[in-house]
Structure 1
């Protein structure tokens, strides 16, 4: 398993704000996440500053639709040069298989990771949704479906990562909800420190506000990296 990497989440409202944040980032950050907010605001053009800098792009749109629509979206996104994409595991086998087939046919195939359970959800939220499994059980069972469908890995909280790593030794495990021990958890409910996430088997750590909103974003990113490498 390769050493885990930081993905800085560009959770900002527009391209101007993104450019300002990119200028504050240290050179060692190779991965950036582009999510719904800025992609809806700017469209695919928002990817160009990252491509000019030769950065790796994690397009986090959490695709969840009928199989054909998701497959076509994967092909379209791959044509824009993205390296990693998200789909929702709850979309089911046919959707996951179609996404994987579409990615494999691309000239530069993106890796696909499936969201098992949003880190903003707790066990109490599962009751509201009518899900009887525990969060960990849900992650592993959906992970099994994803891997059997040709998906490269899962998006999961650090607290489910160990079970997924044990069940799927070669899977990518992308872990959001990363905070330093003294950090504000915001709207996340299942958070973890960088070092804990790596210990549990994460391959990529998605970090947004703790870096973007820091007084010194470069220093904050360096602190995260140092904690990962404990």
Structure 2
């Protein structure tokens, strides 16, 4: 895998006007651009996807679908119909919801969100009744059973997941990777590129 195929740039900006320069300057050097809830809500999902594609970029549609299986399946069909490279669904929506997303993915990759990287260990215990690593492992196994192409997890879980034979072949996308000098924002479970 080429270095550029390991990089996803988050377009965490409030407008397409602000996203434009990032896309045109980086499209050749990265795998794809993540369009998240801020841009989806501010500009509209289909418009944001087309905007990136017209500038030579591929799209990771970060809609984090979490609903009943029928609704997740229909949302997956709509996202896939936009020609996105990948989209995600919350693994906590359940195996059936993830299966509905997979059944409607067309050519897109389906990624299952495990435990948000903004959650510290004490919050994971409050929400899930256990450690973040235990919950990530359980949700990753559920995602594999559902036929998802990959998962989204903290880079801190990569070593644990890499030891699980049943998870071989599952793509791992890690949003908490940034240089030491970069601000972490509200992400808590992060690593540098060298550590990851």
So what's the TM-score if we normalise by structure 2? 0.91
Paired with 1:182 and 1:174, the residues of 2 have a C-alpha distance of 21
Say whether the 8 Å CA contact 1:154–1:171 is kept in structure 2: yes
Paired with 1:132 and 1:47, the residues of 2 have a C-alpha distance of 37
Aligned to 2:119: 121
Aligned to 1:70: 72
Correspondent of 2:130 among 121, 130, 133: 133
Aligned to 1:196: 195
1:141-180 to structure 2, matched below 5 A, reads 141-167=138-164, 168-180=167-179
Aligned length: 191
Q: Over residues 78-134 of structure 1, what are the superposed CA-to-partner deviations in whole Å (9 max), with x where a residue is unaligned?
A: 11110111100000111111111111xx3xx210111110000011002322x2321
Paired with 1:29 and 1:149, the residues of 2 have a C-alpha distance of 28
Q: Secondary structure at the match of 2:136?
A: helix
In structure 1, stretches of 5+ residues that fail to align are: 198-230
1:50 paired with 2:77, answer no
In structure 2, stretches of 5+ residues that fail to align are: none
Paired with 1:169 and 1:196, the residues of 2 have a C-alpha distance of 21
Shift of 1:75: 0.5
Aligned to 1:18: 19
Aligned to 1:181: 180
Aligned to 2:29: 28
Q: Secondary structure at the match of 1:141?
A: helix
Shift of 1:182: 2.5
Shift of 1:176: 0.4
Q: Secondary structure at the match of 2:190?
A: coil
Paired with 1:153 and 1:27, the residues of 2 have a C-alpha distance of 24
Say whether the 8 Å CA contact 1:165–1:171 is kept in structure 2: no
Shift of 1:48: 1.6
Q: Which has the higher contact order (CA 8 A, sep 6+)?
A: 1
Paired with 1:195 and 1:41, the residues of 2 have a C-alpha distance of 34
Shift of 1:21: 2.5
